[in-house]
Amino acid sequence: MNTPHGTPRLAAVIVLAAGEGTRMKSATPKVLHRIGGRTLLGHAIAAARAAEPDHLAVVVRHERDLVAKHVGEVDPGAIVADQDDVKGTGRAAQCALDALPNDLEGTILVTYGDVPLLSGETLHQLVDHHAASGSAATVITANLENPTGYGRILRGGDDAVEGIVEQKDATPEQLAITEINSGIYAFDAAVLREALAQVTTDNAQGEKYLTDVLAIARAAGSRVSAHLIDDLWQTEGVNDRVQLARLGRELNRRITERWMRAGVTIVDPETTWIDADVTIGQDATILPNTQLLGATVVGADAVVGPDTTLNGTEVGERAEVKRTEALLAVIGPDATVGPFSYLRPGTVLGAKGKIGGFVETKNAKIGDGAKVPHLTYCGDATIGEGANIGAGTIFANYDGVAKHHTTVGAHSFVGSDSVLIAPVNIADGAYVGAGSAVTADVGPGQIAVARGMQRNIAGWVARRRAGTKTADAAEAAARHTPDAGEADQP
């Protein structure tokens, strides 16, 4: 049976993730460490899913509950299979088979939870090669300059794969072999099941080796082959944090290259970090030192950066976002944000709106064309279209106990340095005088002025600051304009 791709149908992918990963020196299980915004296991599951199997099983043991919970979050359809006390990759695969339907037929892939750069495309090619060669087992192999630590591929006189020998079990001649076992395989389900039943722990590590399945299948007369790949990154596992960073950088290199090839300008890919789940529209420009994280979406023709971090944020078409930090925010088309803006969750900026320098927003709906241009805290607010919030305005949303909401209506104007003390509503078409502390609602067409009246006290400088330069300046000014400074009221 074939999938729409024409590739043979895949019964299951088994992702091995029961190992401990001691070299990470971490309280977090190795497979839950992240690169490109996903866990290592998340990448492995994504590749497995891309191969379109009928079933997907993840084998767990170390930190079982944490890993199982994560599997449930990233792929609720995946089966979690528990490995028992018996060690080894062979036992892990056997435990997965026990958790899968026992009448499974066809091809089963085995992959690792700690090999994050393996692609779904490579798995498709593995399945194709496996089917085309009529093999019962096909292993992905690579030629390494330094094969130390890996299992070595044993080939017969006819170049056919005869088996795999582990580093710890190998003879000096076998150690000289540079073709290594990636640990990624395709198996015929029945052959795998039968061969695993014959695998023993009779080896240097006292483990059930999955690698033994190849020699067992071959001895039973089945065809075993190798799918040699050039892209070594796809076979590389993470064992420590140095490798984590190395693979993280390579993943980022691949992601940035993919977006550039799709029509995005990335001025400095070296300092631009883009997570695997980000999407970017055509002709968008990403300036240096920018991180696009989580499920961030950047619209076509938008300009983001420099020095910007967007996480789970949507940027509309043609918007400009400069030197900004944003989390779970929505920035409308043609809007401008920054420099030095901080958009917190629930910020929604309308089309052609503006959030300017040193402005912090949270749970704030800012209408189309509305402007919050300078030095503002805007929390728990709804701002109507075309409204203008003056420099230094503070939306005082917290009374020390609870948060309250503020509304500023369409085309209203809040003068600079005002405090809007929530809950308060400023209607459409209203004004707030600069420097006001607004505690009561303002109706349409009204201006609210809520500040002390100005009082000018004549002669104060001469009386209280006599002999200072200020007093001299006042006296000189009075000589030129005898009336100046004499009025009591403005």
Which of 19/369 has CB closer to ligand UD1? 19
Partner in contact with 259, chosen from ligand UD1, Ca ion, none, beta carbon below 5 to 8 Å by kind = none
184-223 footprint of Ca ion as x/- string (CB under 5 A):
----------------------------------------
- The strand pairing partners of 374, in sequence order, are 357
The correct pick among 181, 361, 418, 436 for binding ligand UD1 (CB under 6 A) is 181
Nearest approach in angstroms of CB 32 to ligand UD1 is 12
Q: Which is nearer to ligand UD1, 137 or 364 (CB)?
A: 137
Determine, following the binding rule CB under 6 A, whether residue 17 of this chain makes contact with ligand UD1: yes
Provide the minimum distance between the beta carbon of 79 and ligand UD1 in the complex, in angstroms, as a whole number: 14
Determine the residue with CB nearest Ca ion. 237
Cα-based distances in Å from 153 to 118, 145, 149, 292: 20, 14, 13, 41
Q: Tell me: does residue 18 bind ligand UD1 (CB under 6 A).
A: yes
Helix (H, G, I), strand (E, B) or coil at 8: strand
224 binds, among Ca ion, ligand UD1, none (CB under 5 to 8 A by kind): none
- Classify residue 481 by burial, with Cβ atoms within 10 Å: 0-12, 13-18, 19+: exposed
Provide the β-strand partners of residue 8: 2
CB closer to Ca ion out of 32 and 372: 32
Dist CA 19 CA 30 (whole Å): 8
Stretch 66-85: interaction string toward ligand UD1, x if CB under 6 A? -----------------x--
185, 187, 209, 259: residue in contact with ligand UD1 (rule CB under 6 A) = 209
| Contacts (Cβ under 8 Å, ≥6 apart) of 202 | none
286 near ligand UD1 (CB under 6 A): no
The least distance separating Ca ion from the CB of residue 63, rounded to whole angstroms, comes to 17
| 3-class DSSP assignment, residue 250 | helix
Q: Does 211 sit near ligand UD1 (CB under 6 A)? A: yes
Restricting to residues 105-164, name those near ligand UD1 by CB under 6 A: 112-114, 150-151, 164
Nearer residue to Ca ion within complex by CB, 144 or 478? 144
- Both structure tokens of 222: 């089945």
Q: By CB under 6 A, is residue 166 in contact with ligand UD1?
A: yes
Report how far apart, in Å, the C-alpha atoms of 183 and of each of 190, 297, 453 are.
Answer: 19, 35, 79
User: What is the nearest approach in angstroms of Ca ion to the Cβ of residue 165?
Assistant: 16
Burial of 152 from C-beta contacts in 10 A (0-12 / 13-18 / 19+): buried
**Among 467, 487, 490, 465, which residue's Cα sits nearest to residue 478?**
487
Q: How many residues touch ligand UD1 (CB under 6 A)?
A: 26
When CB distances are held under 5 to 8 angstroms depending on the partner's kind, the choice from ligand UD1, Ca ion, none that residue 281 binds is none
Residue 428's contacts (CB-CB under 8 Å, 6 or more residues apart) are 384, 409, 410, 411, 412, 444
> d(Cα 53, Cα 60) in Å, to the nearest integer?
19
Please count the CA atoms within 13 angstroms of the CA of 449 that sit on its side-chain side.
3
Q: Which of residues 215-244 bind ligand UD1 (CB under 6 A)?
A: 237
Segment contacting Ca ion (CB under 5 A): 30-38, 236-244, 357-365, 457-465?
A: 236-244
Task: List, in sequence order, every residue forming a beta bridge with 362; answer none if it has no partner.
Answer: 379
Smallest distance from the beta carbon of 196 to ligand UD1, in angstroms? 12
Q: Could you say which of 12, 46, 48, 59 contacts ligand UD1 (CB under 6 A)?
A: 59
Active site residues: 374
Residues contacting residue 107 through CB under 8 Å, at least 6 positions apart: 8, 9, 10, 11, 127, 130, 131, 186, 187, 188, 189
Which residues are CB-neighbours of 43 under 8 A, at least 6 positions away?
A: 35, 36, 116, 117, 118, 251, 276
> What are the backbone angles phi and psi of residue 230, rounded to the nearest 5°?
-90, -30
Residue 59: which of Ca ion, ligand UD1, none does it interact with, CB under 5 to 8 A by kind? ligand UD1
Nearer to Ca ion, 33 or 218 (CB): 33
List contacts with ligand UD1 (CB under 6 A). Answer: 16-19, 59, 83, 87-89, 91-92, 112-114, 150-151, 164, 166, 180-183, 209-211, 237
